[in-house]
Amino acid sequence: MHRYRFVLYRPIQLIPVLFGISVITFVLIRLIPGDPARVLLGTRATPTAIANIRAQYGLDEPLLTQYVYFVKNLFAGEMGRSILYKVDVVQLIGTRIEPTLALVAMGVVLSLLISVPFATISARRQGTLADHTVRMLSTAGIGFPSFWLGAMLIILFAVKLDWLPVSGYGGTFGEKLQHLVLPGLTIALSLSAILTRSLRAGMIAGLKSDIATAARARGMSEGVVFWRHVLPNALVPTVNLLAVNIGWLIGGTVVVESVFAVTGLGQLMARGIFTRDYMVVQGVALAFACATVLVNFLADIITVVLDPRIEL
């Protein structure tokens, strides 16, 4: 099982990236003009609070020392306090992470549920009306702005048809699921446009490939050729594409959560930017970056499982 050895050493290889992420988030905040203590605590901070934060982050020390303090605090699970919410940022992220995770999961699942069937129909009936429709929709779909798509879905399903709640995030599991359908769909529609195009291209290439020709020459039916040979080979690049787009997906939650007033990390970040709650912005950006790194690592594992040729 030496092919899976990378699961052990890859985290070590990720250290430089994680280091880079911490440097960028650190530097971003220091770039804000003005007294950093005031920037971090807001204009109405008490002198004691300012003295405290100066000590905790070493704000009077040189920049390099400040960075060391920053990392030390990170390891201690300290990312500062939110000005607006008056709670620790780590704690705040903890309470807001669930809706975002659920939203992203919903987006991924829905986009696969949409793109796999559409790509299949399109690729297997290449040149037909169905294929042209799917191609046009997926080409156009890439250009759907999520804030607008979300609003249109609200108009259609919540206002006109009154099937689903307009916005917010419920308390019970069922309510939560109901509230997540429209935002999940908003994310999924954009993503599935990208996935459908790639899957379709992969499937068409697969149907024309030597592998398919060889299988047909052995007397395999078109169904067997497609489901057993073409699809598994087309899935490998799709997983990678999904991983590449996970950043897009996570970034999308900032917009979509604002549209649907879902109380997740994305909305937290958007609010943080408006209220100049920089500790929150920093914390969420850091969390999102780490999540992206983690997802890419998972995608690597899935790729290795799917394609026996790949060694990492």
Q: Which of residues 16-45 bind other proteins (CB under 8 A)?
A: 16-17, 20-21, 23-25, 28-29, 31-32
- Which of 242/255 has CB closer to other proteins? 255
Close Cβ partners of 247 (under 8 Å, ≥ 6 residues apart): 292
Nearest C-alpha neighbor of 229 from the set 242, 244, 213: 213
Minimum Å gap between C-beta 288 and other proteins is: 5
Q: Pick the closest to residue 32 from 288, 280, 281, 278 (CA basis).
A: 278
Stretches 8-16, 45-53, 59-67, 111-119: which one binds other proteins (CB under 8 A)? Answer: 8-16
Compose the 205-244 pattern: x for residues touching other proteins by CB under 8 A, - for all others: ----xxx-xxxxxxxx---x---xx--xx--x--------
Q: Is 123 or 215 the residue whose CB approaches other proteins more closely?
A: 215
d(CA 38, CA 201): 53
Helices of type H across 42-172: 47-57, 63-75, 89-124, 129-141, 146-153
Q: Does the footprint of other proteins cover residue 149 (CB under 8 A)? A: yes
Distance from C-alpha of 116 to C-alpha of 52, rounded to nearest angstrom: 55
Position 148 contacts other proteins (CB under 8 A): yes
Compute the least distance from the CB of residue 173 to other proteins, in Å.
Answer: 27
Instruction: Please answer whether residues 70 and 57 qualify as being in contact, where contact means their C-beta atoms are separated by less than 8 angstroms.
Output: yes
Shortest distance in whole angstroms from residue 225 CB to other proteins? 10
Report the SS3 class of residue 80: coil
Which DSSP state fits 14? T
Give helix 278-306 / helix 6-13 axis angle, nearest 10°: 150
Least distance in Å: CB of 48 to other proteins?
A: 27
When binding is defined by CB under 8 A, the residue of 270, 299, 301, 304 that contacts other proteins is: 270
Query: What does the DSSP 8-state code read for residue 261?
Result: T
The residue among 120 and 267 lying less far from other proteins, judged by its C-beta, is 267
CA angle 295, 81, 280 (to 5 degrees): 40
Residue 297 in the binding site for other proteins (CB under 8 A): no
Residue ranges in 153-192 that form contacts with other proteins under rule CB under 8 A: 154-155, 159
Q: Give whichever of 102 and 207 is closer to other proteins, judged by the CB atom.
A: 207
Separation of alpha carbons 72 and 58, rounded Å: 11
Amino acid in position 140? A
For the record, the structure tokens of 91 come out as 């704690």
What is the smallest separation between the CB atom of 87 and other proteins, expressed in angstroms? 20
| Coil, helix or strand at residue 231 | helix
Rank residues 58 and 206 by Cβ distance to other proteins and give the closer one: 206
Contact flags string 50-89 toward other proteins, x per CB under 8 A: ----------------------------------------
Q: Which residue's structure tokens are 């191609």?
A: 135
- Size of interface with other proteins, in residues (CB under 8 A): 80
The residues pairing with 81 across neighbouring beta strands, listed in sequence order, are: 88
Residue 257: CB minimum distance to other proteins, A = 11
